[in-house]
Amino acid sequence: MRLSSVHVKNYRALRDVRVPLSRFVCITGENNAGKSSMLQGLSLFLSGNSIRTTDFFDPSQEVTLTVTFEDVSDADLSLLALEHRDRIAEIVRDGAFTLVRRYGLDGKSQLGYIGLTPKDPRFAPDRVDALLKGKKAKDLRDAVATEFSELATTLTSSITQATARKMIDELSSQLPDDQKELRFRPLPTGVDKSILPMLPEHIYIPAVKNLADDTKTAESSTFGKILGILMQSIESKLADQRDIFRSLSEKLTRTTGPDGQPQDVRLQEIRDSESLIQGFVRESFSDVGIKLEIPPPELRTILSTARILADDGMEGPLETKGDGLRRAVVFSVLRAYVEIARRQNGQPSGTAPIRGYLLLFEEPELFLHPGAQKMLFDALGVFARQHHVVVTTHSPLFLGPDTTATFVRFSRTRSEGIPKPSTRPVVIDLSEMEPRDEFQLICYENNNAAFFAKKVVLVEGDSDAIVLPHMASLVNREWDCAHHGVAVVRVGGKGSIGRYRKFFNRFDVPVYVVADLDILVHGFEALDPTPEVKTLRSKLLACADAEVAKQADAATLGSAELRDAHASRDLKSLWSGAKCAYAAFVSDASKFQAMNDAVESFFAFERQDSRKDAIRLAEGDGLLDAKRRLLFALREDSVFVWEKGAIDDYYPASVTGRDKPSRAHAFKTIVTDHDALLELCPEQVCPSSGSTKREFELVCGAEHDRAS
């Protein structure tokens, strides 16, 4: 059985949040976005603990925690008590069921399921309860017959409430599906705890809170449960002692025989004690039966009393030690579990069905250095093969496409008509990414930007990555990249812009591109331009070609340039395209235009440098106007192209260095004044609005202009 989704409504900032679940879920996002609340909501779903008035997003509405389970097997159902098994099996449809825990305004909950329920309001549980309440015999029969005339002929004057309820349930089940709708229904057993043995046992490890309670070895505590995971492997090695426990259990409490019938072979002294107690009670309450129930001893219960003592100069119980040490022990127990699992070749110990775990781990990276974080991430990945893991984290080391099946980014948002901010989840699906993209894009730097930045700026190389944040802070101190959560990401060349842009767009954060001017000539398709932008670019190239044609001494490629062109993969690609287009034309004369375009593109390679120079210089009003119109149109799509060419074309003459990164750092040292910076770039007049700004102001202030 596996958890497939969770839907939380009205719990803290989780006003209405749906999240798909898998074996390993990672929730990221800014502080106070609702990450911890999601883990606590899952914990509450399984525990049913009461909540406070302050836990309601809207104090006038109930809280609902809905979890869907899939791949439910007979082995899962076998974990239930025999008397509940068949009733719970009724709510499983096609191997799946959905449970809902509803919290009323008093903070107390009821666990039920989503099932087909009659649309007829007569069958509503509260209405049936009111109908039967306080009635007996003839009054009960008459009330049921009046409300449910279909049952009138089968009712007797000696009917009981239990029989009447059963008859109403049977009548409900016989209704066709088109007279039913999916709604909340109480569990068919009438007991919330009846279904818990087949649900995963949850372990909630909070961040830096009071971990003293979490490291107690009692089985009900977090640390006791974690230790219990490890003890499962030990329990399987004590199979020979099971008969001893079974024999002891039979002497202490009633048991179920091989035929499924209850049997009582307890010690005579226990039976006598029970009989005496009941006899004395019946002196005052003659119709009350008393049973003495002694919980059967279990090997797991005994193992859970294990203690861990830590000697850090003074030996003592672990719960008396510091937060870092206690959390390290949790880490170590999980690593020990993984090591044992590896020794067993990943096979679960024993053959009997085992209740799974749901590990809810908040900021597991706390107190761990990067190497240890990576080891813990790997350990959690192994643990998730048989159980479920949900973590919240601020560490990109915990994110990887090979292990984490589900990524979710939380953020706070405001909605119209809602008085306070709430959580907005963005589910990221990376399953369709190619291995090369995974290797290049799912790395430390890009994880950090994707999961934790509020804005992402894609640049081609080191110079832009070094200079751009410095430039933004000089243009306006309020535009400091670190202050606004802006991540500058190097893509390693214009050919990668499209892949990186598509990757970061999955995370629902604003993505901007800063590129060199030559992208207008070569590699333009990487920007995924709109038809309107393509038209403006065609006009610009036409103007550039016209300007080049005016030059009587149009340059041709020299020998060195020819050698570079021959080695260029771009030129080879153009040549290959031209050959394929020609072959297609030979077979089908209607393909002439496609062939002509391909050949034109090949020979246009020679004109690239001339085009670039013409566009860079933009001599003549027509060419400059076409250039500015294209640049402003691209900015509307969050793409910013340097008008002068590249970032280092704006450096003052005093900036020197042995390579591009050193010159970029020199620029930061030399240019430290707002006015001096703006003098390095041209003024630009927006073709549509007529407003004038310096280019650096347009680039660095883009998001702020839109916000205003």
DSSP state of 412: E
> Could you read off the pLDDT of 447-500 as tens digits, one per residue?
667 777 888 999 998 999 999 999 998 988 777 787 778 889 998 888 889 888
| 707: pLDDT strictly greater than 50 | no
Predicted local distance difference test score (pLDDT) of residue 405: 64
Both tokens of 541, joined, read: 């190239």
Query: What was the pLDDT predicted at 179?
Result: 92
User: Closest Cα to residue 638, out of 535, 543, 538, 497?
Assistant: 497
State residue 210's pLDDT score.
Answer: 47
C-alpha to C-alpha distances, 659 to 194, 207, 379, 462, 464, nearest whole angstrom? 71, 45, 43, 11, 14
Q: What is the pLDDT of residues 36-73, one digit of tens each?
A: 999 999 999 999 999 999 999 999 999 999 999 999 99
pLDDT tens-digit series, residues 128-178: 989 999 998 889 999 999 999 999 999 888 899 989 988 998 898 899 988
Task: Report yes or no on whether pTM surpasses 0.75.
Answer: no
**Tens digits of residue pLDDT in 547-564:** 888 764 444 555 555 455
- With contact defined as beta carbons under 8 Å apart, do 361 and 380 qualify? yes
Q: Which residue has the tokens 């909070």?
A: 206
Give the C-alpha separation, 355 to 600, whole Å. 68
Q: Write out the H or E segment, with its range, that includes residue 7.
A: strand 2-11
Q: What number is the average pLDDT over the span 585-590?
A: 84
